[in-house]
């Protein structure tokens, strides 16, 4: 057989390779720009295939296009980890054994760290576990502003302040999307209560809408480049938010330039015409067969009849394809990992930094284990496992270290730990009946073998016999606690816990109260009877270790409150009048008549003294702030730059959160007394002095003008207040703007 010359053979091989390369679709080439890949796919799709990309084909996926090798887009609930697998066509768990995940501390605990870098690491853990579980889109973070402390999902959100919520959300989103997993910021917008969430209509003026409730979403889009936004269940100005022309088309996609996809909350779609025209790109969770979804057969019929132009469908398809391609669903994607040592360490780190020391009379904490022989641990929350609760945010955790387990592990036989339940906190069984949103019916499981009076007396006796008593009080994820689909009924601790705390404190003056809860609770009258109160939130799978480490002084608490703790419910804006108009709504509508004055803004405007102010938190060391300097200009186009010194005047290393508030002097329009506009968390060694530098952009001085449809900065004087909370601001300066500014 005659052999071809080497040169000819090389030429033939090159030609074959060129033909193969030319025949390969451009959308399969990662080197091709994303928009070109999107258009290449779009041009190859049939009408049926396009429609399959804009509505669900299971509870948590879309159809994909097998003919073109385009996979299903798989989603999962968050925001504290990857939810267990749900059955394809109903809300029952799928019953798998490979769907465990790391349970991270809840979002409000993350916000209490005041550490955006930690937020980015948090997002990175979720991304790694989502990839390991084959997910492309994670439904989080949640950024709805805390308007009422009764909101059942307060624990899933980032507090009451839009600046803090935005900083933390941007960190989480960046961490998640750097790991090739799309974040989905939710719930857009004004989903500030769970009561009647699917039907209630919200009426709010444009300034509070923009300055409070939309601000974290705007940062998620413009700064973090979030790839997905979830609509809210509620209505706004009479229209359902999942297909709302003003919110989605005018603001989100128009003003903010959002190019990702808008997904409905599950069951949040109500109209084909509105879904088609008013900004919805992906319909999920609607009741009935998938072909009957509003963006399925009804949408097809509207297109074929000419009611809707094909361009509407094509825009939705492009947005879904962008997310698939951005998550490398068609390319090689890192495999991910589940529950690694690094993930566990991050969960513990967030828990430790999120713990807030609210009271420490007589420096009782940290405890010295060498001087303690008997510890009484009291309360249902010392042993109750919390990961698999809260409904959509529940996590099937690999393990969960309860507070009792953490204390037992830490003491390791060096002290006798005696546990007493103290109260009878009912547990509820989830029934097989679910509503369209996935909210489950529950029924109480009474335990007639336990006598509440006997439980109380046993706890008191245990406290009396101990050197120190630790009461784990608070809430849980049962109905009318911290959970999706219902709001709390009051600010009070349930299950007779106030009496338990008072009785235990009377029996043992060295009583520590650790609050396991995702929202503020009332503390009168027992607060004055105990020397120590710690806000532990729901601290994730390593929470028990984190709590023990803080109680015994291995870690120094550095958490700060991301929300005001009021003395009474009536001290909060929506409950001050007691009118249903303001909460939970009257004739189907809730009116935000308080406007801009929510949280600490309300307290400042009305001279209401909080129980614990926004930004508050104690440390085992002491800090001194000094040397405030305010200068015009600065890096990256800053309007002003503020510097101060932080000195650790105590004997332990610790982290201080330096908070900067801007106070307009003689404003031309109504404005809050002060607003958080910058902060920094700094670790300072004993005797060390560190300089903190904070930049203020134009937005720090601005307000939204509905008339000009722009953010406006008036010329004039602005006070700069720096300190440790919204009510502890020892450093004061001023900044004068000589001319007005307008910013986007």
Number of neighbours of residue 146 by Cβ within 10 angstroms: 26
Asked if 197 and 438 count as a contact pair (C-beta separation under 8 A), the reply is no
Asked if 81 and 395 count as a contact pair (C-beta separation under 8 A), the reply is yes
CA 732 and chain centroid, separation: 32
Which ranges of 223-309 would DSSP assign to H, the alpha helix? 272-277, 297-305
Please count the residues of the chain: 744
Distance from first CA to last CA of the chain, Å, rounded? 75
- Residue 404: burial class (beta carbons within 10 Å; 0-12, 13-18, 19+): buried
CA angle, corner 230, sides to 97 and 385, nearest 5?
A: 40
DSSP string of 312-365, one letter each residue: HHHHHHHHHHHHHHHTTTTS------SS-HHHHHHHHHHHHHH-EEEEEGGG-P
Two tokens, residue 193: 């209560």
Radius of gyration of the chain (CA): 27
**Spatial CA neighbour of 738 closest among 710, 714, 719, 720:** 714
- Residue 474 backbone dihedrals phi, psi, to 5 degrees: 125, -140
705-718 in b/e form (b: 16+ CB < 10 A) is beeeeebbbbebeb
What is d(CA 468, CA 480) in angstroms, rounded to the nearest whole number? 32
Active site residue 98: no
Asked if 682 and 694 count as a contact pair (C-beta separation under 8 A), the reply is no
What is d(CA 399, CA 387) in angstroms, rounded to the nearest whole number? 9
Determine the 3-state secondary structure of 308 from DSSP. coil
Determine the 3-state secondary structure of 242 from DSSP. helix
Asked if 479 and 487 count as a contact pair (C-beta separation under 8 A), the reply is no
Q: E-strand spans in 150-222?
A: 182-188, 201-203
What is d(CA 145, CA 154) in angstroms, rounded to the nearest whole number? 8
Bridge partners for 347 per DSSP: none
DSSP string of 75-95, one letter each residue: EEE-SSSPPPPBPSSSSSB--
Asked if 101 and 339 count as a contact pair (C-beta separation under 8 A), the reply is yes
Would you tell me the crossing angle of helices 34-42 and 310-326 to the nearest 10 degrees? Answer: 130
Catalytic residue chosen out of the listed positions 77, 161, 180, 265 = 265
**Spatial CA neighbour of 658 closest among 674, 673, 639, 677:** 677
**Spatial CA neighbour of 733 closest among 744, 723, 743, 718:** 718
Two tokens, residue 293: 């979804």
Catalytic residue positions, numbered? 265
């Amino acid at each position: 057989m005659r052999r071809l010359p080497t040169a000819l053979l090389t030429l033939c091989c090159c030609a074959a390779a060129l033909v193969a390369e030319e025949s390969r679709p451009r959308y399969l080439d990662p080197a091709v720009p994303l928009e070109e890949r999107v258009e290449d796919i779009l041009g190859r799709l049939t009408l049926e295939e396009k429609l399959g990309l804009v509505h669900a084909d299971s509870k948590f996926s879309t159809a994909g296009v097998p003919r073109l090798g385009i996979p299903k887009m798989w989603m999962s609930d968050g925001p504290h980890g990857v939810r267990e697998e749900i059955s394809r066509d109903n809300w029952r768990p799928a019953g798998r054994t490979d769907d465990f995940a790391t349970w991270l501390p809840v979002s409000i605990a993350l916000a209490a760290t005041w550490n955006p870098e930690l937020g980015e690491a948090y997002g990175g853990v979720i991304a790694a576990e989502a990839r390991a579980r084959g997910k492309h889109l994670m439904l989080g973070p949640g950024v709805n502003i805390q308007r009422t402390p009764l909101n059942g999902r307060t624990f899933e959100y980032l507090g009451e302040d839009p600046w803090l919520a935005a900083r933390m959300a941007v960190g989480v989103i960046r961490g998640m999307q750097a790991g090739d997993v799309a974040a989905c910021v939710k719930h857009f917008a004004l989903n500030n209560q769970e009561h009647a969430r699917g039907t209630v209509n919200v009426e709010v003026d444009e300034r509070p809408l923009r300055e409070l409730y939309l601000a974290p979403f705007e940062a998620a889009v413009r700064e973090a480049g979030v790839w997905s936004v979830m609509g809210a269940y509620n209505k706004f100005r009479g229209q359902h938010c999942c297909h709302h022309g003003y919110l989605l088309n005018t603001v989100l996609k128009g003003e903010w330039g959002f190019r990702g996809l808008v997904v409905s909350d599950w069951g949040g779609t109500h109209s084909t015409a509105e879904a088609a025209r008013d900004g919805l790109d992906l319909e999920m969770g609607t009741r009935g067969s998938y072909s009957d979804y509003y963006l399925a057969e009804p949408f097809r019929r509207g297109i074929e009849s000419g009611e809707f132009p094909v361009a509407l469908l094509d825009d939705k398809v492009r947005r879904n394809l962008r997310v698939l391609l951005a998550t490398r669903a068609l390319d090689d994607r890192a495999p991910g990992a589940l529950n690694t040592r690094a993930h566990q360490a991050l969960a513990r780190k967030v828990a430790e930094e999120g713990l807030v020391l609210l009271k420490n009379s007589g420096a009782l904490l940290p405890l010295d284990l060498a001087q303690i022989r008997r510890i009484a641990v009291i309360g249902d929350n010392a042993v109750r496992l919390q990961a698999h609760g809260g409904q959509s945010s529940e996590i099937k955790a690999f393990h969960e270290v309860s507070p009792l387990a953490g204390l037992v592990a830490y003491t390791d036989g060096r002290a006798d730990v005696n546990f007493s339940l103290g109260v009878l906190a009912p547990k509820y069984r989830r029934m097989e009946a679910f509503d369209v949103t996935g909210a489950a019916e529950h029924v109480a499981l009474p335990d007639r073998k336990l006598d509440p009076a006997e439980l109380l007396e046993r706890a008191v006796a245990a406290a009396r016999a101990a050197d120190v008593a630790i009461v784990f009080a608070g809430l849980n994820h049962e109905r009318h606690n911290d959970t999706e689909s219902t709001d709390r009924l009051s600010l009070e601790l349930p299950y007779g816990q106030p009496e338990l705390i008072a009785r235990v404190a009377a029996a043992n003056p060295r009583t520590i109260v650790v609050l396991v809860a995702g929202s503020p609770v009332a503390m009168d009258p027992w607060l004055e009877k105990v020397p120590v109160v710690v806000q532990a939130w729901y601290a994730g799978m390593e929470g028990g270790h984190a709590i023990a480490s803080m109680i015994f002084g291995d870690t120094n608490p550095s958490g700060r409150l991301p929300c005001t703790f009021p003395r009474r419910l009536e001290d909060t804006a929506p409950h001050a009048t007691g009118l249903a108009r303001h909460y939970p709504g009257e004739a189907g509508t809730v009116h935000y008549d308080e406007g801009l004055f929510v949280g600490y803004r309300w307290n400042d405007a009305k001279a209401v003294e909080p129980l614990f102010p926004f930004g508050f938190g104690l440390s085992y060391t002491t800090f001194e702030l000094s040397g405030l300097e305010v200068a015009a200009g600065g890096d990256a186009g800053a309007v002003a730059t503020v510097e101060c010194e932080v000195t650790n005047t105590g004997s332990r290393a610790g982290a201080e959160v330096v908070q900067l508030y801007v106070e307009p002097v003689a404003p031309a329009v109504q404005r809050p007394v002060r607003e958080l506009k910058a902060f920094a968390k700094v670790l300072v060694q004993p005797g060390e002095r560190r300089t903190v530098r904070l930049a203020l952009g134009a937005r720090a001085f601005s307000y939204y003008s509905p008339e000009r449809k722009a953010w406006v900065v008036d010329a004039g004087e602005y006070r700069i207040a720096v300190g440790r909370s919204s009510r502890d601001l020892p450093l004061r300066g001023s900044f004068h703007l000589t001319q007005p500014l307008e910013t986007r």
